[in-house]
């Protein structure tokens, strides 16, 4: 076990962070001399220069042109605008479902996941990569994605030291996912740019480059409309945006703000995915559907449906309705996405969930193809 030391000082106006690894160089290291330009501590010889976020000027002017992420053909954003409703779980299952699509091609789509929820990364746990060693580096200094279930991933959690917290008896040992990121806006923006533009999605885990890259990169955004979603929307050429919500008016009020932000930035919104919309009673063959929040989203006169229309999104923008399935959560805790191999997928709510997620993936890919044809 490597010996690590984390020391943080938080004065009123500046943030210092220093990590020392004994026996191995640290990727994650920042200090005042770097002036917040390199919060991940990547080597200086990286030839990929990320675009700079202007500090002045309106959204409509002064911005650099949006860029393609290196070795990525298409980018799909997953946003929730509200925390705790299953956004990250849907992100990893969407990535798996996209990779499993049976297209009229000789190969399946190459799909990756980028976890940009800097303050609360969940992708490592959901993908069975909790507590893994830090990612390797290419000769250019680019990060090498960590792969599991055939899906390459990158997350802020991979670059953090294990938490220094003390575990209670019977609790799991703290890992890098438990380490808080105590950063201000500029540090976060710089870290996001490095994760976006200094990850080599064509690299293999052995450190060799030159692979085919990704057809689709699924980006798991943090909740809300803060710096990270805004930065990504301004800097990256995005092909599709999926917004996750639950079937209640309170969640929809947060979604309304997110939709307004994406519309203002002229981002392509594929539609809404309604998570945990209903529950199917399976006791003694009951089979009755119970709407957990009291709204049948398929009823055009329901308060939920009216709220969706009020945002300027028609009924066809509800691209998926997922039932509450306990095995989805159990699979997430074990690091196995339900779309990959969950139990009870051939009957009942499990089959409805997997079919709905496949439908979301098909809708996303159709949107990507449609946007590409319009841009030609």
For the stretch 68-93, pLDDT in tens is: 999 999 999 999 878 889 999 999 99
- Specify which of 53-62, 113-122, 168-177, 304-313 reaches the highest per-range mean pLDDT: 113-122
Bridge partners (DSSP) of residue 242 are: 78, 271
pLDDT at 7: 38
Does residue 367 have a pLDDT over 80? yes
Strand order in the sheet with 146-148: 146-148, 151-155, 111-115, 214-220, 72-79, 240-245, 269-274, 318-321
Report, as an integer, the average pLDDT of 160-165. Answer: 68
Decide which of 178 and 224 is more confident.
224
Copy the structure tokens of residue 53: 């976020």
pLDDT at 15: 42
pLDDT band at 1 (very low <50, low <70, confident <90, very high): very low
pLDDT band at 255 (very low <50, low <70, confident <90, very high): confident
Nearest Cα to Cα of residue 258 among 275, 270, 243: 243
Q: Which residue has the tokens 């079937």?
A: 247
pLDDT at 14: 44
Copy the structure tokens of residue 364: 């996303």
Report, as an integer, the average pLDDT of 167-181. Answer: 59
For the stretch 3-34, pLDDT in tens is: 333 333 334 444 444 443 334 444 444 333 44
DSSP codes of every residue in 260-282: HHHHHTT--EEEEEETT-EEE--
DSSP codes of every residue in 284-308: GG---EEETTS--TT-TTSHHHHHH
Whole-angstrom Cα distance, residue 194 to residue 301? Answer: 46
CA distances, 132 to each of 92, 153, 177, 321 (Å)? 18, 12, 10, 33
pLDDT at 43: 75
Q: Which residue has the tokens 């997953």?
A: 78
The domain locations on the chain are 66-162+173-375
pLDDT at 28: 47
Q: Are 144 and 210 within 8 A, CB to CB? A: no
For the stretch 91-136, pLDDT in tens is: 999 999 999 998 866 678 999 999 998 888 899 999 999 888 889 8
Q: Is the dihedral of CA 331, 332, 338, 340 positive or negative?
A: negative
The phi and psi torsions of 67 (rounded to 5 degrees) equal -120, 155
Bridge partners (DSSP) of residue 279 are: 290
For the stretch 207-217, pLDDT in tens is: 667 788 999 99
Give me Rg for the CA atoms of the chain.
Answer: 21
Q: Which residue has the tokens 């995005």?
A: 238
pLDDT at 175: 64
Residue 321 DSSP label: E
pLDDT at 344: 63
Q: Are 350 and 341 within 8 A, CB to CB? A: no
CATH fold for domain 66-162+173-375: Rossmann fold (3.40.50)
Does residue 290 have a pLDDT over 60? yes
């Amino acid at each position: 076990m490597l010996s690590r030391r984390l020391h943080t000082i938080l004065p009123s106006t500046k943030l210092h962070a220093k990590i020392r690894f004994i026996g191995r160089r640290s990727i994650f290291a920042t200090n005042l001399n770097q002036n917040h330009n390199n919060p991940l501590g990547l080597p200086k010889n990286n030839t990929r220069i990320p675009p700079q976020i202007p500090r002045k000027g309106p959204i409509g002017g002064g911005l650099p042109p949006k860029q393609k992420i290196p070795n990525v053909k298409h980018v799909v954003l997953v946003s929730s605008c509200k925390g705790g409703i299953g956004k990250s779980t849907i992100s990893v299952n969407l990535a798996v479902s996209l990779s499993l699509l049976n297209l009229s091609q000789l190969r399946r789509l190459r799909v990756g996941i980028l976890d940009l929820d800097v303050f609360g990364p969940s992708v490592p746990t959901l993908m069975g990569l909790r507590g893994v060693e830090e990612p390797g580096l290419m000769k250019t200094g680019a990060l090498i994605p960590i792969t599991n279930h055939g899906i390459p991933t990158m997350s802020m959690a991979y670059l953090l030291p294990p938490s220094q917290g003390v575990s209670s008896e019977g609790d799991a040992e703290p890992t890098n996912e438990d380490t808080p990121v105590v950063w201000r806006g500029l540090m976060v923006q710089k870290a996001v740019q490095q994760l976006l533009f200094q990850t080599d999605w064509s690299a293999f885990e052995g450190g060799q480059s030159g692979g085919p890259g990704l057809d689709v990169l699924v980006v798991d955004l943090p909740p809300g409309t803060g710096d990270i979603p805004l930065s990504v929307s301004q800097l990256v050429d995005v092909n599709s945006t999926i917004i996750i919500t639950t079937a209640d008016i309170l969640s929809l009020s947060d979604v309304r703000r997110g939709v307004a932000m994406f519309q203002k930035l002229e981002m392509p919104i594929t539609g809404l995915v309604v998570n945990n919309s209903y529950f199917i009673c399976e006791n003694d063959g009951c089979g009755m559907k119970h709407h957990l929040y009291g709204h049948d989203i398929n009823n055009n006169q329901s308060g939920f449906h009216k709220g969706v229309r009020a945002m300027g999104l028609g009924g066809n923008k509800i691209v998926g309705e997922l039932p509450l399935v306990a095995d989805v959560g159990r699979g997430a805790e074990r690091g196995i996405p339900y779309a990959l191999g969950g139990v009870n997928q051939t009957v009942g709510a499990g089959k409805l969930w997997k079919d709905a997620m496949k439908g979301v993936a098909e809708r996303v890919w159709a949107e990507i193809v449609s946007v590409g044809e319009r841009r030609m």
